């Protein structure tokens, strides 16, 4: 989820009630703010918000059902997750590809922090910051090419 997302805000109360009932369902319910954990959004290939996953014994399934408390509980209690196709092996959050994707998301967050530092703290003009990143990209490409 993301705090600014209207759909996430809409499901928030339902999700909190589902989390309260999780002890009776013998499951663990959690939520992750993708703005604080960009690597996880890369690892889980999050393209829409909110995204709900069911994980059991290292097998991940994306929940695409209704977002009501009753349907969420029914998905677990009635074991409806068994009828859902697991996430493909290469898309699995534990795969090497998704590990690399998480690294790219971390890198983009790091670049954004450097850009913010340059323009916010040092007072560098935005276009100068862009020029620095362009130059760095060219130099890294040249170095790797050699």
Choose, from 2, 6, 8, 68, the residue flagged as catalytic. 8
Could you give the 3-state DSSP secondary structure of residue 65?
coil
8 is catalytic: yes
Question: Same domain, yes or no, for 87 and 120?
Answer: no
Question: Same domain, yes or no, for 73 and 110?
Answer: no
Give the CATH number, domain containing residue 36.
3.40.30.10
- Indicate whether 1 belongs to any domain: no
Cβ neighbours of residue 1 closer than 8 Å, sequence gap 6 or more:
8, 11, 12, 15, 31, 32, 33, 34, 49, 50
Which of the four pLDDT bands, split at 50, 70 and 90, describes residue 46?
A: confident
Question: Same domain, yes or no, for 87 and 100?
Answer: no
Residue 77 has pLDDT above 70, yes or no: yes
Average pLDDT for 23-34: 88
Supply the pLDDT for residue 39: 73
66 is catalytic: no
Say what the pTM is: 0.63
Supply the pLDDT for residue 15: 93
Distance CA 114, CA 132 (A): 11
Per-position DSSP letters for 76-90, written without gaps between them: HHTTGGGGSPPPPGG
Choose, from 5, 25, 27, 40, the residue flagged as catalytic. 5
Average pLDDT for 84-113: 76
Question: Same domain, yes or no, for 56 and 112?
Answer: no
Question: Same domain, yes or no, for 79 and 113?
Answer: no
- Domain with 71, as residue range(s), is 6-91
Residue 138 has pLDDT above 90, yes or no: yes
Which of the four pLDDT bands, split at 50, 70 and 90, describes residue 38?
A: confident
Question: Same domain, yes or no, for 15 and 69?
Answer: yes
Q: Tell which wins on pLDDT, 73 or 108.
A: 73
Question: Same domain, yes or no, for 74 and 21?
Answer: yes
């Amino acid at each position: 989820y993301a705090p600014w997302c209207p759909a996430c805000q809409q499901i928030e109360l339902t999700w909190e009630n589902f989390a309260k009932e999780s002890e009776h369902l013998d499951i663990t319910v959690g939520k992750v703010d993708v703005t604080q954990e960009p690597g996880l959004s890369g690892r889980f290939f999050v393209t829409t918000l909110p995204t709900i996953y069911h994980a059991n014994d290292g097998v991940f399934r994306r929940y695409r059902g209704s977002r009501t408390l009753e349907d969420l509980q029914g998905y677990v209690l009635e074991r409806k997750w068994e009828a859902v196709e697991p996430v493909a092996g290469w898309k699995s959050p534990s795969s090497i590809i998704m590990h690399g994707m998480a690294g790219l998301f971390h890198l983009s967050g790091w670049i954004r922090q450097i850009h913010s530092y340059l323009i916010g703290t040092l007072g560098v003009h935005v276009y100068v910051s862009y020029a620095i990143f362009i130059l760095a990209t060219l130099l890294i490409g040249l170095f790797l090419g050699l």
